[in-house]
Amino acid sequence: MAHRIAGIAAAQAHRDLGIDRTRYVSVHQALKTAGVVGMAQPMPRLFGVYFSPADNGPAILLNANLNIVTQRHTAAHELGHHQLRHRTAADEDLSPALRWGNGSWPDEEKTAEAFAAWFLMPCPAVLAGLGRICQGLPTGPEHVYELARELGTSYAGTVRHLQNLRLLEADRAHQWAKISPAALRSSLAGGAALPADAHVHVITASSHLQRVHADVGDVLIVRGDGAGFVSLPKGLARWTATAQTATPLEAAVVTDELSEPVVLDVSAASRGEPVQLTVVRESPRAGVHDVWPD
C-alpha cells in the first residue's frame, strides 16, 4: 500500500515540479521548485528533518556528513513528507532493511521512504538506463550497479526498486542484494584496487550525450574496442590501477579541480565521431540551499 500511494504521489510530483522522468532526477532542484527551504549541517544522530507548514515550514534539514547517494535519498524522503502533507518528522534511520519489515515504522515513514524510491527512479529513467547498459535486461549485478550510478541511487535500493517494477525476479533480487557494492566496483575495474569509497562510472558508445554525476575520487572507465579518452579536461586525471588487471584499463579519476561541468570526448571504434558526455561534480550539500549548485 505504501508503494501504491507513493508511486502515484511521485508521478504527480514529477509533473508538478517539471521533472524529466527519463533521466537523473535533481532532488535538490526539486526542493527549490517546491518552495521547500533546505539546509545541510553536520548532525551526529539524524539523517534529516522535515518541518511542516504548521511548524514554520516547509523546510528540511539534511546531515552534511552523509555521502552523495545517502544525502540524495534523504532529501527525497523529506520531500516525500512534504508532498504527502505529513507532519514534522525527524529521521534517525532510513534503512528499510533494518526497520521496515518489523512493524516499527509508522505509515508516514513507510510512504515517505517509498516515495524516495519512486521519485529518484522513475520507470522511464530506469528503462532508458537499462537500454543503454544491457539492452534492457539486467543479467548480472554489475548492470544494476551501473544503473544506480546513472540514477544517483544506492545499489541495494536499486535492486529493491527493480523488483518493485517487476524488472527483476524476487529470487534473483534477493541473491544480488547480498553482494557488496565494493565487490562490484572491483569487478567493473577488472579487479583493481580503487580509492576508498570511490564509485565507478562505466563509459561506452551508448554514453553519448549523457551526464555523469560524480564526486572527487570517483573513477571513470572506458569500455569498448579501440575506446579511449581523446583528451582529459581540467578536473579529470588519468588513473592507473596499482595492481595488474586482466585487460589494460583506460580510466580517469575525478579531482578536486572539477568545479564546473566539463565535456569529455571519448573515441570509439563503433562511431565515426567521438562519444561526448558531460561530467558534473555532485558533492554532498552543506550550508543553505541558496548556494547549492543545481
CA angle 114, 70, 167 (to 5 degrees): 45
CA angle 120, 125, 131 (to 5 degrees): 140
> Between 244 and 140, where is the model more confident?
140
Q: Is residue 15 helix, strand or coil?
A: helix
Pick the CATH number of 191-294 from 3.30.70, 2.30.110, 1.10.287, 2.60.40: 2.60.40
pLDDT band at 92 (very low <50, low <70, confident <90, very high): confident
Per the CB < 8 A criterion, the answer to whether 113 and 154 are in contact is: no
Residue 162, pLDDT > 90, answer yes
Per-residue pLDDT tens digits for 214-248:
999 999 999 888 889 999 999 999 998 766 665 67
Question: Measured on CA atoms in the order 73, 63, 49, 17, is the torsion positive or negative?
Answer: negative
Which percentage of the chain shows pLDDT scores above 90? 77
What does the pLDDT average to over 106-131?
Answer: 95
Per the CB < 8 A criterion, the answer to whether 292 and 248 are in contact is: no
Distance CA 198, CA 218 (A): 5
Distance CA 254, CA 204 (A): 18
Per-residue pLDDT tens digits for 168-189:
999 999 999 999 999 999 999 8
Where in the chain do CATH 2.60.40 domains reside?
Answer: 191-294
Where in the chain do CATH 1.10.10.2910 domains reside?
Answer: 2-120
pLDDT for 246 equals: 59
pLDDT band at 16 (very low <50, low <70, confident <90, very high): very high
Residue 255, pLDDT > 70, answer yes
Of residues 95, 68, 79, the one with CA closest to residue 38: 79
pLDDT for 99 equals: 53
CATH, domain range 2-120:
1.10.10.2910
Per-residue pLDDT tens digits for 122-135:
999 999 999 999 99
Alpha helices in 140-276 (DSSP H): 141-151, 155-164, 170-177, 181-188
Cell numbers linked to 248:
589494460
pLDDT for 105 equals: 73
pTM of the model: 0.93
